[in-house]
Amino acid sequence: MNIILKETIPTLGIIGAEVSVADGYARNYLLPQGKALEATDANRKVLEQAKAKFELQIAKEKSLAEELAKKVETITCKISAKVAEENRLYGSVTTHDIMEALKDQDVELERRMLLLAAPIKEIGTYKVAVRLYKDVEPQITIEVVPEVKKD
């Protein structure tokens, strides 16, 4: 089913975009929640009239994302982890661990925004991309350090 998005949905597209989705997803979620309209000629005309408003909102969202990107790029998270032999971790550092470290620095991001390809399993410094908005992906620095043993 073709729909027109009334708000930006990261997995589908930006506001005002016409996308094709599964019929059930459109009927059971997007349309009842008011997140989209069915792509008909009448709805297209209404959206053409509101396009200037959408473009202003897109520009505003993108500028906010770019401001946040500047702040996020300066962040360095230190995560302590238990270490085995040869600098390997007993477990791994996942997006959940990174989110906890970010909360300690008063940075609120959603977990799905972190683009961690695979869990971190060794001590070291890593760059992790953060998708804040379409084409706005700053990188944060993650330092995995050995946990200090308390005697």
The 10s digit of each residue's pLDDT in 34-61 is 999 999 998 888 887 777 777 788 888 8
CB contact burial 24-47 (16+ within 10 A = b; e otherwise):
eebeeebbeeebbbebeeebeeeb
> Rounded to the nearest 10 degrees, how much is the dihedral formed by the CA atoms of 30, 33, 34, 39?
20
Domain(s) of CATH 3.40.5.10: residues in the chain: 2-49
Domain 69-146 adopts which CATH fold? Ribosomal Protein L9; domain 2 (3.10.430)
**Contact of 35 with 9, CB cutoff 8 Å:** yes
> What's the pLDDT score for residue 36?
92
Sheet of strand 2-5: strand arrangement = 18-20, 2-5, 36-38
**Separation between Cα atoms, residue 146 and residue 30, nearest integer Å:** 46
The Cα-based distances of 81 to 63, 89, 143 in angstroms read 36, 7, 10
* Mean pLDDT computed over 7-31: 89
Dig out the tokens for 8 from the structure: 């930006």
Q: Is the pTM of this model over 0.85?
A: no
Give the residue from 62, 79, 71 showing the smallest Cα distance to 139.
71
54-111 pLDDT, tens digit per residue, is: 778 888 888 888 888 888 888 888 888 888 877 788 888 888 888 888 888 888 888 8
CATH number for the domain formed by residue range(s) 2-49: 3.40.5.10
Domain(s) of CATH 3.10.430.100: residues in the chain: 69-146
Residue showing tokens 């790029």: 73
The burial of 77, by beta-carbon neighbours within 10 Å (0-12 exposed, 13-18 middle, 19 or more buried), is given as buried
**Contact of 141 with 71, CB cutoff 8 Å:** no
